[in-house]
A and B are shown apart, each in its own frame.
Chain A
Amino acid sequence: MERKVELKVVNLKKYFPVQKSFLERLLSGKIEYVQAVNRISFEVRRGEVFGLVGESGCGKTTTGRLITRLIEPTEGKIIFKGEDVTFIQGERLREFRKYVQIIFQNPYASLNPRMRIGEATAHPLEIHGIATGERKKKMVFEMLEKVGLEPAKKFYDLYPFELSGGQRQRVAIARAMILNPELVVADEPISMIDVSLRAKILELMLMLKEERNLTYVFITHDLAVAKYISDWIGIMYLGEIVEIGRKEQIFSTPYHPYTKALLSAIPVPDPKREKKDIKLKGEVPSSINPPSGCRFHPRCSFAKDKCSNLKPSLKMVDKDHYVACHLY
């Protein structure tokens, strides 16, 4: 059964101008840009989890902030439930925020230190005028209990500094979920949480997803996490999507050399298994002056002449499975 497309991103691009001093601007007239996200496209269907995987600095967080309209895209389109939301403003943008929420990576910074937990969780309801007084309080209690902050009465009056990282992230989840959104962007929600608590947070997110038929864009650098939670996976490298497909396809038959290298880096708990690591050469290049052609070519062991001149576009290699590489 084909599910409805919830979110569609078309040729999305975000360039940040590089801040320069007055003198530097005087000496070289041209403005340089950090090409954080460069023409990426993907679709997310209702009730599915799209895992966006890549190294730090590859533009995954920028993509998340673009989708939630926290920053303005340079070019491209964001289509949510068939409606173009790329440049909506004012009331329409506020309305959009009811449906699209975000959970941030750092729970130590995403909560206002001067706002009690109850207040922080209730604030979205106040902003959108959904509930007031006793009804609001009841909804907050229910939400806090749902995310595992029990007894809710106790947590309601606490300040963020009195909570652990995991508890704070639960508050952030409660705050995002209380509006009953349809699409939630989760930007590395577990990377700053104690390893022992990560599974719990993931389970909570999956439980909420099942219960509310939510759609997630799950951003992570950890392929094992992506494998656990995602239905679809997009692999990002230097601001571009290099491979995209169903989870099973990516894990069983990866095509792109970068995907293969990432997969080989996942530790396998079997001492007898022969290791055939694919080691990448060098460092991730700067996204101010990215390599010409395929952005991965300087680190790729299969690079041909063509790779340094011509940028590969996403090609279908199998049903639902796309890869941007000249080898195929």
Chain B
Amino acid sequence: MKYSISRFIVSNIIKNIFPRKGTEYFVLVGFILVLLIILMAIFAPFIAPYDPIKKVGEILERPSGKFLLGTDGLGRDVLSRIIFGARTAVLVTFLAVSISLSFGVLLGLLSGYTGGKFDTVFSLVMDAMYSFPGLILAIVLAAMLGPGILNTAMAIAVIYTPTYFRMVRGLVLSLKESLFVEAARAIGAKDRTIVFKYIFPNVISSIPIVLSLNAADAVLTLAALSFLGLGLPAPTPDWGFDLRAGHAYLASRIWWPSTFPGLMIVILTLGFSLLGEGLNEILNPELRR
């Protein structure tokens, strides 16, 4: 009995988790990185050794046994701050991606399927948004909306909405001319049924790739906004903000308050990118050369 269970685990779980192809390792590594940071965000209060917004030691203490990654300019524990910073990063990224995904996909479906003037207007608006340099648009919006988690997420979401819109609209334009959609009309399906039962399920498979690549980008945009002081209000632990606060000390060779938050930004971005690129290669085998 015991033997068979262990064999079951080996054959079905381990072999599925450790695939053999190179690109699949990309996905796996990306997935693990993202998962670790998400777990870190969820269990932050249990993992973090100190309160991230309280002065717990001397200012700018070197990494030591007491403060593994040292303390920052206000005497706060850097390790606790990056652990809690994961919450901000994950939450804002999640919100930004969900908002842009829902609006982009819904408008893309509607615009592509309806066509005509409605489509022309929406496409023009989205193209105009798309043609702005993303970060500058986000800076303007963040400055207008003011600090706060939801506001920052919305500022970031606006940049990525056109990506989904354009992708979905393009797919809908070709799918709505397809024979199976005509067949759906022949059996008397209403437009709503056609969009949600015939077109949408055929669009879904392209979303995860764009989603993870956008998430990677959103992490960077959030970091940039906080770096410029347009992110979240001050005491909230936030990688971009801490990077900014710590970079002043770099000249005095005090590297730890800025390096570790920066590293976290790199890790999360890398995780999402690997996931996206890997998924892209697996789901679109024709791109493989």
Q: Which residues of A are interface residues toward B (Cβ below 8 A)?
A: 65, 68, 70, 93-94, 97-98, 101-102, 104, 106, 109-115, 123-124, 127-128, 172, 175-176, 179
Contacts and interface: CB of A to CB of B under 8 A. Distances in A.
A68 B197 CA distance: 22
B182 interface: yes
5 contacts: A93-B188, A97-B187, A110-B179, A115-B201, A127-B189
Contact of B180 (A68, A97, A102, A111): A111
Size category of the B interface is 10 to 19
B202 A175 contact: no
Nearest to A105: B179
Q: Which interface residue of A98, A106, A114 has the most chain B CB atoms within 10 A?
A: A114
A113 B187 contact: no
A127 B185 CA distance: 11
Contacts of A111: 180, 183
Nearest to B199: A112
A70 B179 contact: no
Contacts of A68: 186
A218 to B, nearest CB: 17
Contacts of A110: 179-180, 182-183
Contact of A124 (B182, B188, B190, B202): B188
Interface of B: 178-180, 182-190, 193, 197-198, 201-202
Contacts of B187: 97, 101, 123-124, 127, 175-176, 179
B186 A106 contact: no
B12 to A, nearest CB: 22
A68 B188 CA distance: 11
Given A109-B178, A123-B187, A123-B189, 15 more contacts: A65-B182, A70-B185, A97-B186, A97-B188, A98-B188, A102-B186, A104-B179, A104-B182, A106-B179, A109-B179, A111-B180, A112-B201, A115-B201, A123-B184, A127-B193
Contacts of A94: 188, 190
A104 B193 contact: no
Nearest to B180: A112
A101 B187 CA distance: 7
A29 to B, nearest CB: 23
B121 to A, nearest CB: 19
B112 to A, nearest CB: 17
B189 to A, nearest CB: 5
A176 B198 CA distance: 17
A112 B204 CA distance: 14
A234 B186 CA distance: 24
Contacts of B198: 112, 115
Contact of A109 (B180, B193, B197, B202): B180
Q: Which interface residue of A98, A109, A172 has the most chain B CB atoms within 10 A?
A: A109
Nearest to B185: A70
Contacts of A104: 179, 182-183
Contacts of B185: 70
A113 B188 contact: no
Contacts of A123: 184, 187, 189, 197
B188 A112 contact: no
Contacts of B202: 112-114
Nearest to A111: B180
A112 B182 CA distance: 10
B178 to A, nearest CB: 6
B133 to A, nearest CB: 30
A127 B187 CA distance: 8
Contacts of A127: 187-190, 193
Contacts of A98: 188
Contacts of B190: 94, 127
B168 to A, nearest CB: 15
A148 B184 CA distance: 23
Contacts of A102: 183, 186
Contacts of A112: 180, 184, 197-198, 201-202
A68 B184 CA distance: 12
A174 to B, nearest CB: 12
Nearest to A185: B186
A68 B178 CA distance: 17
A114 B201 contact: yes
Q: Which interface residue of B179, B190, B201, B202 has the most chain A CB atoms within 10 A?
A: B179
A183 to B, nearest CB: 12
A213 to B, nearest CB: 21
Nearest to A102: B186
A114 B198 CA distance: 8
A223 to B, nearest CB: 26
Contacts of A128: 188
Contacts of A176: 186-187
Contacts of B182: 65, 70, 104, 110
A94 B182 CA distance: 14
Contacts of A179: 187
Contacts of B189: 123, 127
A114 B180 CA distance: 11
A98 B85 CA distance: 60
B197 A115 contact: yes
Nearest to B193: A127
